[in-house]
A and B are shown apart, each in its own frame.
Chain A
Amino acid sequence: MTDKKNPEYDFTWCPGCGDFGVRRAVEVAMRDWNIEREIPMSHNVVVAGIGCSGNLVHLLEGEQPYGFHGIHGRSLPIALGVKMAREDLNVLVVAGDGDFLSIGMEHIAPQAARNLNVCAVVMDNGVYGLTKGQSSPTTIEETVTSSTPYGKMEAPINPLELYLTLGVTYIASGYSSKPRDLAGLIKRGMEHDGFSIVHVASPCTTYNDTYEVLKGNKAKGIEGTAWELPDDHDPSSRSAARGVIEQGGVPLGVVYQDAERPSLDRRIAGVRERVKPKSPDALLDAFAL
């Protein structure tokens, strides 16, 4: 038996939750990755944050990867430990906007600086869902939520702009209603030798239903905010990436990729080649009387 069937596990997302689509995309990306490399699913580790999004690690269907459902905000450093310990493993982070961008914000910059070779899939619904509807870093200003009864007083952050500024070397933006495209973005992120973030608009049907905003509604004269990146967008260009981000909305595709900067894996391998390890006995010799 390799597929998991846990009769007792009863958590599920609300009907229409964007995270269903993200789960499908993660499953497809990992499956294709394994087939191409002829490796078993057990070589994949999914590190989850805390929140609705983090439950993805329990809801994966089919053959199971290793999973780690840790503590709020710390999915990145747990993933860092897994990857630094075992560079042979494919390490994926799944987190939400609250987990990743509020409590976990401090962990993005160091991983970008290190160019840690993990892929983070961030499910952004612009709200804290599991705690029932408080404002998150990406909630729009003036929005009334249970924690902002008089309107949100903070400016929302622009995650893509943040990632670019911090030096993340692969930045993709996707939409949960396009799981096939999203799977492609995630797989490219896994293939990227460095820190990759796939930021996904994944609406919350209960507390922040943005499907209409993203897709638009011709009948109501609403233009969708999600837009496909043009074929001639050059992701290796920082200024082109900045231009895309400044256009606003939710661009769909690879916004930026720097394939030149060496990953932490490669730098560590370089040190291991240069430095000869000493045995504990030899280490004691240095203190011998």
Chain B
Amino acid sequence: MASQTEIVVRFAGEGGQGVVTAAEMLARAATGVGFHALTFATFPSQILGGPTWTQARIARAPIQSPGDSVDILVAFNDEAYNEHRSEVRDGGVILLDPSVTPDPGDGHRCISVPFDELAKQTGESRAANMVVMGGLSKLINMPVTYFKEFVASRFAGRDKVVEANHMALDLGLAHLSEEDAISDLGEPDPPDYDQVFIKGNEALSVGAMHAGIEFYFGYPISPATPVLVYMERNLVGPGKFAYQASSEIEAVTGIIGAGFAGRKAMTATSGPGFTLMGEGLGLAWMAEIPCVVVDVQRGGPATGLPTKTEQSDLLAAISPAHGDSSLPVIAAGTVEECFYAAVHAFNWAERYQGPVIVLSEHSLAERAQNIPRPDLAATPVESRDVYRGDNGYLRYESGDLSPFPVPGGAGAYVANGSEHDAYGDTTHLAKHHVHLTERRFGKLRLLEDGTYESENAGAPVAILPWGGSKGSAREAYDRLREEGEDVGWLYTIFLNPMPPAMLDELRAKDLVIVPELNYQGQLAGLLRAQGVRAEAITQYTGLPFKPSELSERIKARLAGAGARQAVTA
């Protein structure tokens, strides 16, 4: 039995069979004892039934992508078995529900486990997942006590449930033999820092809480709904509340009203809802109202692929409205960055007095992962510069940012979505449109403080992923560096405005390779418009990049770039 540094377990079946919770449970139990783990989930847009699969990747060292090949497949029905068995690596194992007849030609070891029947023996038919976990603990040689501790803490105080689940674990364990074990992760090496096990949407929500959110107003839409649900439950207190809107149009105009009234306000949505918010976002830009809009991207356009991942809203995020505007955009690339993206977004909105877009995506939103516990004390929170003078203040007179009058206090003005003069009154005069257009764009300079990652800066070619492709790209980059490729790494969550020093570095490259999950190569296109020799590597399958495939595609580009360089030379 080989020792492995990581294991990927995939669960496939129908929605409602416990497939979704299985990966999370495995990852949670593994991280509880000091491994690193993250989950990946994809499911159809329906409540029960439909092909669903999730996977957990467990490793001894920190990881950032769902991984490559599958070590163990747990298939609950024929369809799941046939769909996923080709993804199982050579030497991998497939655990099957007894209803599934394995293909005699299948080169993998297929083991039938009567999950439901064994669960019934415990008196708790819902314990089938624990039978699976017990079997897995044998397969990957992970002490079953890890799972037992997890069950004990999860169902603390419910002795019967704990007992049944412990029994289920033992039954699953006993059903497999020592020879079935395929690998050994060894002893975990627990991190020496505090951790949380959290999903992207939850990390983003807690980030907003830390940033001082006061009003949340949102409409249910996959995959952003968990943010609404989290806020409804937790955002309450003096001057604070979360509420369900009747549409995305209502949601965005509602948070604009709250922002105008002096509050920190946010909504979260996905593609279709974001499109409906376009006019409102133009209003927030025009009237200079701080607010944060989160777009948890899914496949588009129109209703698109509601439960699949894609990075195709970048152009829309920067220009959601008609007319001259360029909205600040922060794109989270990891679960941890979901927390910080939310905090930065509020800080930016408050600082420049306008709307800020946070981009997340399905694969991050649903990803459960162990991350370092965010250090709240070390994460500063900003609030807008409030006007505290007398009446007679001209809100829009200055060519730069000016203090923000809050209703109830002096400095009454009209916040106006029509072009306006210093008073906020509607105007059609060119001088005002020129003056305030320049003011609105000029304020973006206040946001040029974003940080970025840069490695192997001397290389002529760099990889620059954005958003949730960061993890796969990072693993691909590490592989390429190990193989001796001279390629650099550049990355930021601050996509608009980009850190100017980073843009300088990008412009100096012979080639910047941008892996992104869309057809057009949206970021690459934007970079080319800014004088960067950027080329995209795209994928639009609704799934994230696999690090192995991505590194091969990058390698091909590197070879091409080298050939071109040789010709030019």
Contact B407–A82 (Cβ < 8 Å): yes
Contact B246–A64 (Cβ < 8 Å): no
The yes or no answer to B449 lying at the interface (CB within 8 A) is no
Residue of B nearest to A86 (CB): B261
**Which of these, B194, B217, B429, contacts A288 with CB under 8 Å?**
B194
The yes or no answer to A89 lying at the interface (CB within 8 A) is yes
The yes or no answer to B250 lying at the interface (CB within 8 A) is yes
The yes or no answer to B249 lying at the interface (CB within 8 A) is yes
In Å, the complex CA distance between A98 and B287 comes to 23
**Which of these, B202, B256, B282, B407, contacts A42 with CB under 8 Å?**
B407
In Å, the complex CA distance between A70 and B282 comes to 10
Residue of A nearest to B254 (CB): A81
In Å, the complex CA distance between A264 and B198 comes to 33
Interface string of B249-276 (1 = CB under 8 A from A): 1100111111111110100000000000
Contact A77–B249 (Cβ < 8 Å): yes
The yes or no answer to A230 lying at the interface (CB within 8 A) is no
Q: A64-B412, A68-B260 are in contact. Are A81 and B265 (CB under 8 A)?
A: yes
Q: A43-B408, A289-B32 are in contact. Are A84 and B215 (CB under 8 A)?
A: yes
Distance of B56 from chain A, by nearest CB (Å): 15
22 contacts between A and B (CB under 8 A): A2-B392, A42-B411, A42-B412, A55-B426, A64-B391, A64-B413, A65-B412, A67-B414, A69-B424, A70-B287, A81-B265, A84-B254, A84-B257, A85-B257, A85-B258, A85-B265, A86-B407, A106-B249, A110-B250, A275-B236, A287-B196, A289-B370
Distance of B322 from chain A, by nearest CB (Å): 11
Contact A71–B376 (Cβ < 8 Å): no
In Å, the complex CA distance between A277 and B411 comes to 32
The yes or no answer to A35 lying at the interface (CB within 8 A) is no
Contact A71–B392 (Cβ < 8 Å): no
Residue of A nearest to B241 (CB): A268
Interface residues of B in 525-553 (CB under 8 A from A): none
Contact A80–B254 (Cβ < 8 Å): yes
Interface residues of B in 406-443 (CB under 8 A from A): 407-418, 421, 423-427, 429
Chain B residue numbers with a CB within 8 Å of A88 are 408
In Å, the complex CA distance between A272 and B214 comes to 13
**Which of these, A1, A272, A283, contacts B238 with CB under 8 Å?**
A272
The yes or no answer to A168 lying at the interface (CB within 8 A) is no
**Which of these, A4, A42, A84, A271, contacts B423 with CB under 8 Å?**
A4
The yes or no answer to A78 lying at the interface (CB within 8 A) is yes
Contact A89–B407 (Cβ < 8 Å): yes
Number of interface residues of A (CB under 8 A): 53
Interface residues of A in 154-195 (CB under 8 A from B): none
In Å, the complex CA distance between A106 and B424 comes to 28
Contact A77–B254 (Cβ < 8 Å): yes
Contact B253–A71 (Cβ < 8 Å): yes
Contact A81–B260 (Cβ < 8 Å): yes
Contact B253–A66 (Cβ < 8 Å): no
Contact B197–A287 (Cβ < 8 Å): yes
**Which of these, B279, B426, B429, contacts A58 with CB under 8 Å?**
B426
Chain A residue numbers with a CB within 8 Å of B123 are none
In Å, the complex CA distance between A174 and B417 comes to 29
Interface string of A79-110 (1 = CB under 8 A from B): 11111111011000000000000000011011
Classify chain B: how many residues form its interface, as a range. 35 or more
Chain A residue numbers with a CB within 8 Å of B373 are 284, 288
Chain B residue numbers with a CB within 8 Å of A79 are 257
Not counting A74-B280, A283-B209, a sample of 9 additional A-B residue pairs whose C-beta atoms are within 8 angstroms of each other reads A1-B391, A42-B391, A66-B413, A70-B417, A71-B280, A80-B254, A81-B257, A106-B246, A287-B202
Interface string of A249-282 (1 = CB under 8 A from B): 0000000000000000000100110010110110
In Å, the complex CA distance between A272 and B410 comes to 29
Distance of A26 from chain B, by nearest CB (Å): 14
**Which of these, A89, A277, A281, A288, contacts B195 with CB under 8 Å?**
A288
**Which of these, A70, A110, A284, contacts B253 with CB under 8 Å?**
A70
- Residues of chain A touching chain B, judged by Cβ–Cβ distance below 8 Å, are 1-2, 4, 6, 8-9, 11, 41-43, 45, 47, 55, 57-58, 64-71, 74, 77-86, 88-89, 106-107, 109-110, 268, 271-272, 275, 277-278, 280-281, 283-284, 287-289
Contact B376–A280 (Cβ < 8 Å): yes
Contact A41–B412 (Cβ < 8 Å): yes
Q: A69-B415, A86-B407, A280-B206 are in contact. Are A6 and B425 (CB under 8 A)?
A: yes
Most A CB atoms within 10 A — which of B287, B374, B415?
B415
Chain B residue numbers with a CB within 8 Å of A89 are 261, 407-408
Distance of A12 from chain B, by nearest CB (Å): 12
In Å, the complex CA distance between A150 and B429 comes to 38
Contact A284–B414 (Cβ < 8 Å): no
Residue of A nearest to B393 (CB): A1
Residue of A nearest to B209 (CB): A280
Most B CB atoms within 10 A — which of A1, A69, A79, A268?
A69
Interface string of B366-407 (1 = CB under 8 A from A): 000010011010000000000000011000000000000101
Contact A81–B414 (Cβ < 8 Å): no
In Å, the complex CA distance between A58 and B424 comes to 8
**Which of these, A11, A81, A281, contacts B255 with CB under 8 Å?**
A81
In Å, the complex CA distance between A224 and B513 comes to 75
The yes or no answer to B496 lying at the interface (CB within 8 A) is no
Chain A residue numbers with a CB within 8 Å of B253 are 70-71, 74, 77-78, 81
The yes or no answer to B175 lying at the interface (CB within 8 A) is no
Contact B429–A8 (Cβ < 8 Å): yes
Chain B residue numbers with a CB within 8 Å of A288 are 194-196, 373
**Which of these, B32, B195, B258, contacts A81 with CB under 8 Å?**
B258
Chain A residue numbers with a CB within 8 Å of B241 are 84, 268, 271-272
The yes or no answer to B303 lying at the interface (CB within 8 A) is no
In Å, the complex CA distance between A109 and B250 comes to 12
Chain A residue numbers with a CB within 8 Å of B234 are 277-278, 283
Chain A residue numbers with a CB within 8 Å of B260 are 68, 78, 81-82
Contact A71–B417 (Cβ < 8 Å): yes
In Å, the complex CA distance between A162 and B534 comes to 57
Q: A45-B407, A277-B240 are in contact. Are A80 and B202 (CB under 8 A)?
A: no
Chain B residue numbers with a CB within 8 Å of A80 are 250, 254, 257
Distance of B436 from chain A, by nearest CB (Å): 14
In Å, the complex CA distance between A1 and B370 comes to 58
Distance of B258 from chain A, by nearest CB (Å): 4
In Å, the complex CA distance between A11 and B416 comes to 15
In Å, the complex CA distance between A11 and B249 comes to 29
Contact B257–A77 (Cβ < 8 Å): yes
Residue of A nearest to B214 (CB): A85
**Which of these, B215, B413, B425, contacts A85 with CB under 8 Å?**
B215
The yes or no answer to B31 lying at the interface (CB within 8 A) is yes
In Å, the complex CA distance between A142 and B501 comes to 65
Most A CB atoms within 10 A — which of B215, B254, B257, B405?
B257
Chain A residue numbers with a CB within 8 Å of B215 are 81, 84-85
**Which of these, B32, B265, B283, B374, contacts A284 with CB under 8 Å?**
B374
Q: A80-B257, A85-B214 are in contact. Are A1 and B392 (CB under 8 A)?
A: yes
Closest 3 CB pairs of A and B: A81-B257, A277-B237, A67-B414
Contact A67–B421 (Cβ < 8 Å): no
Contact A9–B423 (Cβ < 8 Å): yes
In Å, the complex CA distance between A19 and B262 comes to 30
Interface string of B146-168 (1 = CB under 8 A from A): 00000000000000000000000
Chain B residue numbers with a CB within 8 Å of A275 are 236
In Å, the complex CA distance between A110 and B251 comes to 12
Chain B residue numbers with a CB within 8 Å of A82 are 257-258, 260-261, 407
Q: A55-B426, A67-B413, A71-B253 are in contact. Are A283 and B206 (CB under 8 A)?
A: yes
Q: A85-B265, A106-B246 are in contact. Are A68 and B408 (CB under 8 A)?
A: no
Q: A84-B243, A287-B198 are in contact. Are A68 and B374 (CB under 8 A)?
A: no
